[in-house]
Every structure is written in structure tokens, then in C-alpha cells.
Amino acid sequence: MHDGYILCGTPRTGSTLLCNLLASTPSAGNPDSYYGPAFMADWARDWNLPDPGSTNEYGFSHAYLAAAIRAGRGGTGKFGMRLMRENLEDLMANLSRIFPGLASDKARLESAFGSLLYVHLSRSDKLAQAISLIKAQQTGLWHIAPDGTEIERLAPPQEPQYDFTLISNEVARIEAYDAAWSSWFAAQGITPLCVVYEELQVDPATSLKRVCEALGIPAPHPHEARSGVAKMSDAMSEEWARRYRQDARTVR
């Protein structure tokens, strides 16, 4: 029986969709990016933790871990967390301060969080993933509700601009991070539960059921599976993809 799970992904693979689905169930915890460096200071303030400068690294890391576990459980029996591959080393450095001398990343993670299910979130269409990420970064808008209202905006609105080189570099970076997850799983002796974005987006209830079954908890009825987020791909995304493929042929 697993004590919790980590959603192991790269940006724009449906992690927010799956986090919301899991958080909406009565027993699957409250997964979020508790160890994303960009968010840790905000979490620490929300949890009323002491300022890192007022205590030693071990004391802060230990207090932060305890608070993250409480938040990730969300009052349920399972801990949940989202982790991007680019943040894995930061998390391991943090846990190494608390659990020095352990032989592997898996040993550190499971000393911290208990027996874990590792869910590998990936997206088959890396070009669409890169375009989605670049548009979010340029427009500042990361998520919208099913009715089109904004849920998460991280910057003032700006008009997105097509850039072949930017997209090409982002595709390569995403492919490298996705491959790095696969290499890490193999090195740690982990067989993850694989969830593909394209399947999650089309049938979220079935993907949620797979995760719940792997955790040994009841899955909600399909009609009760609510994520609160909508797909953001649009005509501009399709036009960028078409233009990118045309430009790629020209470059070759």
C-alpha cells in the first residue's frame, strides 16, 4: 500500500489537470509543487515557517518537510506532490540535509514521504507542448476555466510572437527532460505509472481511475471527476505548429 505519490512531469503535460482531479477526491491528498524553487518562499510564508535566515539549513528543511507533508495530505491518508524534472536536484539537495548518507534518491524520497507511487506524466506531441509553454510564458496566462475565465495569470497580458528558434530550443529541452525522467526511473529501479497527456485530456476520468486504483483508493464516479481547467490550445497554436513544420523543412 502506497503512502502517497509524486506526479513526475515536465511543463504543460496536464499536471494541473491531474492535480485538480486528485484533489477533488476525498482520499487522494492535495498535490502541488511544494518543492518548486519559485514557490517555496510563498509556501513557507503560507505555512508560517521561520525565516530561513533565522535558523540553520537543517532546521528549516526539517520544518518545511513536515509542513509540505501536511499540505500534501490535505487532511486525507495520502500524500501528493507534483515535481518537474528540472526541480529534482533541488529537492534531493534539500532532502540530503535531513537524510544524509542514504544510497539513492529513492531512499531519500521514501524516508521523507513513505512508500510512493511514481506517476510519469508525458506528452506525445512535443511540438504542441513547446508551443503551449511558450504561449503561456509570453502571454502570462497559464490556465483557464471551462467557461474561459482566467484561473492563473503570472504576468500582464502580452501578444504572443512566433519564433522558430525559440520553439526548436524548447522542443529539445522538453525531450531532454523527458528522457532524463526515464533515465532516473531506470537508475532508481522504479517502474512508474505512465499517464499520457493526450489520453488524460480526452478522458480524464479514466486516467484518474488508473491513479486511484494504483494507490488502492476508490475512484470517483466519472461524472464526479471535475478538474476546473480547460484546454488552451487554439487556432494560433495550430498555426504556429503548421508554420514551424514548414520552417523546419526549409532549414533542413
In this prediction, residues 77-98 reach a mean pLDDT of: 96
Measure the CA–CA gap between 16 and 231, rounded to whole angstroms.
11
Burial class (CB in 10 A: 0-12, 13-18, 19+), 223: exposed
Q: Model confidence over 207-221: pLDDT tens digits?
A: 999 999 999 999 887
Decide the pairing of beta strands 150-153 and 141-144.
antiparallel
Side-chain-side CA neighbours of residue 86 (13 Å) = 10
Q: Quick one: fold of 4-251?
A: Rossmann fold (3.40.50)
The pLDDT value given to residue 245: 96
Three-state DSSP class for residue 84: strand
- Single-letter code of the amino acid located at 5: Y
Measure the CA–CA gap between 167 and 236, rounded to whole angstroms.
14
The answer to whether 31 touches 81, Cβ cutoff 8 Å, is: yes
CB atoms within 10 A of CB 100: 9
Q: Give the helix/strand (H/E) hosting 235.
A: helix 235-251
In this prediction, residues 42-51 reach a mean pLDDT of: 91
pLDDT at 223 over 70: no
pLDDT at 86 over 80: yes
The pLDDT value given to residue 225: 65
Question: pLDDT-based confidence at 224, cuts 50/70/90?
Answer: low
Cα separations (Å) of 162 from 53, 130, 131, 137, 173? 43, 12, 9, 12, 18
Weakest-pLDDT range from 29-38, 66-75, 105-114, 214-223? 214-223
Annotated domain spans of the chain: 4-251
Burial class (CB in 10 A: 0-12, 13-18, 19+), 81: buried
The pLDDT value given to residue 233: 83
Measure the CA–CA gap between 183 and 44, rounded to whole angstroms.
31
Q: Model confidence over 9-36: pLDDT tens digits?
A: 999 999 999 999 999 999 999 999 999 9
Percent of the chain with pLDDT over 90: 79
Residue for grid cell 486525507: 76
Residue 104 DSSP label:
S
Beta-carbon contacts of residue 60 (< 8 Å; ≥ 6 apart) = 49, 50, 52
Instruction: Check: pTM over 0.85? Answer yes or no.
Output: yes
Question: pLDDT-based confidence at 204, cuts 50/70/90?
Answer: very high
In this prediction, residues 188-209 reach a mean pLDDT of: 96
pLDDT at 49 over 80: yes
Q: Model confidence over 137-194: pLDDT tens digits?
A: 999 988 877 877 887 888 898 999 999 999 999 999 999 999 999 999 999 999 999 9
| E strand spans, the chain | 4-9, 79-84, 116-122, 141-144, 150-153, 193-196
Mean of the per-residue pLDDT values for the chain? 92
The pLDDT value given to residue 213: 96
